[in-house]
Amino acid sequence: MIGAEAIPGVPASKAAVAANAALDAQAFSGFHQRTARPLWAYLARVLGNAALADDLLQESFLRFLLTARWEEGEAACRSYLYRIATNLMRDHWRRPAVTSLEEVPEGDLPASNWQMDERIDSQGLLKPAFAQMRPRERQLLWLAYAEGATHAEIAQITGLGAMSIRLLLFRARHKLARLLRPTMVPEGGKR
Amino acid sequence: MKWHGCSRVGEVTTALREERGLEGCAPELQTHVAACPQCSELVLVARALRRAREEAIPRAQPAPPDLLWWRAQLRRRNALAERAARPIGLVEKLALGIMLLWIAAWAAAQREAIADALQWWARSPHYSLFRGNINWFTGDGPSWLPAGILAATLGLLAGLATYLGWRGAGTKRQQD
């Protein structure tokens, strides 16, 4: 565990503690290099706001560092990091606005006024389609298809029931596909 | 058109996750994807999102890991200090409460002596200077009232001094 305290009753030399800290710092550096950019892409795409994604990315790593358990392996750490980020996004959306709607930057609004700036500008097709999706749908789709997470991993990250992921994902996928290619959906086609 | 329950969705999802992609799969699966609305929907969405991810990743500007590490250490230290200071704060409040109670009890026990002292002071020539302002001291009120007020004032001042002393010591301990 990062920065683990000495075991009570067992004297630990300062050199040993420093060596452990250096090892942890090195491990974190590698982990950060592998996960920071994909996590930023997830935050930026789901939030639709690059500046906010920067903030939440940093906060996610800080919280991760305070509670991470390296011994559980990289995959578990990665899931845990994504879970922290997902919770931070949820907190952001739940936070009551202290200003009037007119004063809120458009990027801070979750769905209807969702926008992307030039840093997350992608092909023009996904932008308007993703803007019409709910935050939860964006999360699920991104985790499943951009990150390639399994249903179990998505359930762990989002806190949703593993059984409901399949159905929610199916609906979200169908909605996004319809928005991406409106001609694909037949008249009266079931959702 | 079939929208629910395609049995090959899992197969297509696995193929999309793998390096080879759908193009590297058996032609039979590709033919199925082209014909099945659910699978073609899946491929459309997955490809769009994968492309969006590939485009977004180079645009990320994460903070350097060293800085994050340092900030996390600082936050951890602050949290520990705050946690350590919590019982000290409780002890401070408890000490203040005990001190005030002790002073109140002492003043109640010594009210006769305090009243005598005040009467002696009231008879002294210095008291004449304040007679006009504080003649209610010798009015119809209870005899212990002046002593009580004096004791309460002294008690509050003593308690405040004790509290400030404890706070100062606590701050110094935290800085060390």
Residue A154 lies in a domain: yes
On the question of pLDDT at A154 being above 90, the answer is yes
Q: In sequence order, which ranges of B6-141 are alpha helices (DSSP H)?
A: 9-17, 27-35, 37-56, 65-109, 111-123, 131-134
pLDDT at residue number A165: 92
- What single letter denotes the amino acid at residue A43? L
Q: How confident is the model over A81-111, as pLDDT tens digits? A: 999 999 999 999 887 765 554 555 555 555 4
Contact list in A for residue B48 (CB cut-off 8 A) is: 123, 125-126, 176, 180
Instruction: Determine the Cα–Cα distance for residues B138 and B145; give it in Å rounded to an integer.
Output: 10
Question: Roughly how many angstroms between the first and final C-alpha of chain B, as a whole number?
Answer: 74
Question: What pLDDT shows up at residue A98?
Answer: 56
Q: How many helices (H) and strands (E) does chain A have?
A: 7, 0
C-alpha distances (whole Å) from A11 to each of A7, A8, A14, A16, A174 are: 8, 8, 9, 10, 60
pLDDT of residue B109: 85
Q: What is the DSSP letter of A9?
A: T
Judge if A70 and A140 occupy the same domain. Answer: no
What pLDDT shows up at residue B169? 64
Number of domains in chain A: 2
Q: A152, A162 in Cβ contact below 8 A? A: yes
**Which one of A61, A146, A177 has the shortest CB-CB distance to B50?**
A146
User: Is the Cβ pair A174, B63 closer than 8 Å?
Assistant: no
**Could you tell me which chain B residue has the CA closest to the CA of A124?**
B52
Q: Is A33 domain-assigned?
A: yes
Range of the domain at A177: 124-185+187-191
CB contact under 8 A, B49 and A29: no
Q: Flag whether residue A119 sits within 8 Å of chain B, measured between CB atoms.
A: yes
Q: Is the dihedral of CA B148, B154, B156, B158 positive or negative?
A: negative
Residue (of A77, A86, A80, A87) closest to A30 by Cα position: A77
Q: Residue written as tokens 């180079």?
A: B58
Q: What is the pLDDT of residue A130?
A: 85
Name every residue whose Cβ is closer than 8 Å to that of residue A164 and which is 6 or more positions away in sequence.
none
Distance CA B141, CA B102 (A): 25
Q: What is the pLDDT of residues A7-66, one digit of tens each?
A: 344 444 555 555 556 658 888 999 999 999 999 999 999 998 899 999 999 999 999 998
Residue contact A41–B73, C-beta within 8 A: no
Q: How far apart are CA A78 and CA A99, in angstroms?
A: 35
List of chain A residues whose C-beta atoms are within 8 Å of the C-beta of residue B42: 173
Considering the domain architecture, whether residues A83 and A141 belong to the same structural domain is answered as: no
Determine, for residues B45 and A141 on separate chains, whether the beta-carbon distance falls below 8 Å.
yes
Contacts of A38 in chain B (CB under 8 A): 53, 57
Tokens coding A32: 């950060």
Same domain? For A150 and A89 the reply is: no
CB-CB neighbours of B149 under 10 Å: 13
Distance (Å, whole) CA A157 – CA A160:
8
- Please tell me whether residues A87 and A146 are part of one structural domain: no
Instruction: Work out the burial of residue A115: count CB atoms within 10 Å of its CB; fewer than 13 is exposed, 13-18 middle, 19 or more buried.
Output: middle
Cα–Cα dist A22/A115, whole Å:
41
Q: What is the pLDDT of residue B89?
A: 83
Q: What pLDDT does residue B171 have?
A: 59
> Which CATH number does the domain housing residue A165 bear?
1.10.10.10
- Tokens found for residue A162: 């593993």
**B36 interaction partners in chain A (CB closer than 8 Å):** none
The domain spans of chain B are 9-59, 86-175
Chain A interface mutation, best of B6, B20, B68, highest count of A Cβ atoms under 10 Å: B68
Q: Which CATH number do you get for residue A70? A: 1.10.1740
Which ipTM did the prediction report?
A: 0.72
Q: What is the pLDDT of residue B168?
A: 65
* Contact between residue B35 and residue B14 where contact means Cβ atoms under 8 Å apart: no
Q: What is the CA radius of gyration of chain B?
A: 40
Query: Does the pTM of the predicted model rise above 0.90?
Result: no
Q: Do A146 and A44 form a contact (C-beta atoms < 8 A)?
A: no
Closest residue of chain B to A3, computed from CA coordinates: B73
B41-82 pLDDT, tens digit per residue, is 888 899 889 888 998 999 899 999 999 999 999 999 999 998
Task: State the average pLDDT for chain A.
Answer: 77
Q: Does the beta-carbon distance from B44 to A181 stay under 8 Å?
A: yes
The answer to whether the CB atoms of B72 and A2 lie below 8 A apart is: yes
3-state SS, residue B55:
helix
Across the interface, whether the CB atoms of B49 and A189 are under 8 A apart is answered: no
DSSP state for residue A4 in the 8-state scheme: P
Token code pair at residue A28: 């974190």
CB pairs under 8 A between A and B: 122
Optimal mutation site among A37, A52, A132, A141, interface B, most CBs of chain B within 10 A: A37
Buried b (16+ CB within 10 A) or exposed e, B16-48: bbeeeebeebeeeebebbeebbbbbbbbbbbeb
Tell me if A102 is assigned to some domain: no
Nearest to A108 by CA among A176, A57, A50: A50
First to last CA, chain A: 46
Tokens 């006769």 found at: B112
Length of chain B: 176
Judged against a pLDDT cut of 50, whether residue A190 lies above it is answered with no
Looking at the structure, tell me whether residues A142 and A77 fall in a common domain. Answer: no
- List CB contacts (< 8 A) between A66 and chain B: 72, 75-76, 79
Tell me which residues of chain B have a pLDDT lower than 50.
1-3, 132, 141, 175-176
